[in-house]
Structure 1
Amino acid sequence: MPRKHTGLLTIGEVAARTGLAVSAIRYYDDEGLVAARRSAGGKRMFLRSDIRRLSFILIAQQLGFSLEEIRAQLRQLPLERTPTKRDWEQISQGFRAHLDARIGMLERLRDRLNGCIGCGCLSLETCQLYNPDDRAAASGTGPRLVLQKSVAR
């Protein structure tokens, strides 16, 4: 049961609510992604809003975001108080831009993986049509037709 007299949750209670291991929660606390309060006995205690912060970290990691990218987004949220709906709206705007870019790249990969991706191998017949003489190389290294939003063909 939550600690009604303090409004704080133990690390075990937070682990049960988020599905994260206690060691992961300690790690995120040590990294400054959440800010545990300490009980008189030195135990880590968390605000209920830390459940949302930890859930955000879990989702972002599953989407392939690095801890540094997650940290950059979480810096927009206050540690000293429970984030408001407006606080989360601000963080979602920045996160949305990253997600939109990733979705775009995944769609380009899905649509072009079986054909020319602009990597310069020129081993598929379609490469000769879409990337003759490795024209995409002028845009940079790697699979240019997937990495860039648009490449002149």
Structure 2
Amino acid sequence: MTTHLAWDAKEATVGELAARSGVATSALRFYEREGLIRSRRTSGNQRRYSRDTLRRVAFIRTSQRLGIPLADIRAVLELLPADRTPTKEDWARISECWRDDLEARIRTLQRLRDNLTDCIGCGCLSLDRCVLSNPGDELASHGPGPRRLIED
């Protein structure tokens, strides 16, 4: 059985899709059970995925790497057209759904990077004994935990 997906193939087997996408066949079957991707069945009950499933799988994997829950990924994928291959504009439209959340995550990670040493370097996590970064435990009035790392 070949696992190479020809450039002009309209459909892919689960093995071809796995080889081309870099995602295990078990993960592809899981994505299908979760409603993230779809396949049709042959008369021999074998899965066949349309070629545009490659883009969906890439979108799912990238979204997962960004920490987006599968339920949120599924909800956004449901906004794509079911009757045709999604266009660049379709992908751009659904990508906008998470822009604000991703921007907030980026700000939080930048703040963590920039303040990590000052905030937790001494191990006090803004307790009153940190006279250099938090004299008089003034950050306690803003709430519990490492306040410099938590966005208000």
Give the TM-score range, shorter chain. 0.7 to 0.9
The RMSD of aligned alpha carbons is 2.6
Aligned partners of 1:122 and 1:50: how far apart in 2?
Answer: 55
- The equivalent of 1:134 in structure 2 is 140
Runs of 5+ consecutive residues of structure 1 not aligned to the other structure: none
Kindly state the Cα deviation for residue 43 of structure 1 after the two structures are TM-superposed.
Answer: 1.1
- The equivalent of 1:110 in structure 2 is 113
What residue identity is the alignment partner of 2:127? C
Kindly state the Cα deviation for residue 109 of structure 1 after the two structures are TM-superposed.
Answer: 0.7
- The equivalent of 2:130 in structure 1 is 124
Q: Per the alignment, do residues 2 and 134 of structure 1 end up closer, same or farther by CA in structure 2, a change over 3 Å counting?
A: closer
SS in 1 for 2:48: strand
Deviations 1:82-122 (A, max 9, x none): 111221011111122222111111001111111237x5534
- The equivalent of 1:94 in structure 2 is 97
- The equivalent of 2:30 in structure 1 is 27
Q: Percent of aligned positions with the same letter in both sequences?
A: 41
Runs of 5+ consecutive residues of structure 2 not aligned to the other structure: none
- The equivalent of 2:68 in structure 1 is 65
Aligned partners of 2:128 and 2:45: how far apart in 1?
Answer: 63
SS in 2 for 1:35: coil
The answer as to whether partners of 2:79 and 2:94 remain within 8 angstroms in 1 is yes
SS in 2 for 1:76: coil
- Total equivalences in the alignment: 145
Q: Per the alignment, do residues 124 and 27 of structure 1 end up closer, same or farther by CA in structure 2, a change over 3 Å counting?
A: same
SS in 1 for 2:37: coil
Aligned partners of 1:146 and 1:136: how far apart in 2?
Answer: 12
Kindly state the Cα deviation for residue 64 of structure 1 after the two structures are TM-superposed.
Answer: 2.0
Which deviates the most, 23-32 or 107-116? 107-116
Which deviates the most, 107-116 or 21-30? 107-116
Deviations 1:47-102 (A, max 9, x none): 11110110111112122222122223222213343111221011111122222111
Which deviates the most, 24-33 or 120-129? 120-129
Aligned partners of 2:30 and 2:38: how far apart in 1?
Answer: 11
Residue correspondence of structure 1 range 66-85 to structure 2 within 5 A: 66-85=69-88
Which deviates the most, 64-73 or 83-92? 64-73
SS in 1 for 2:148: helix
Aligned partners of 2:83 and 2:38: how far apart in 1?
Answer: 8
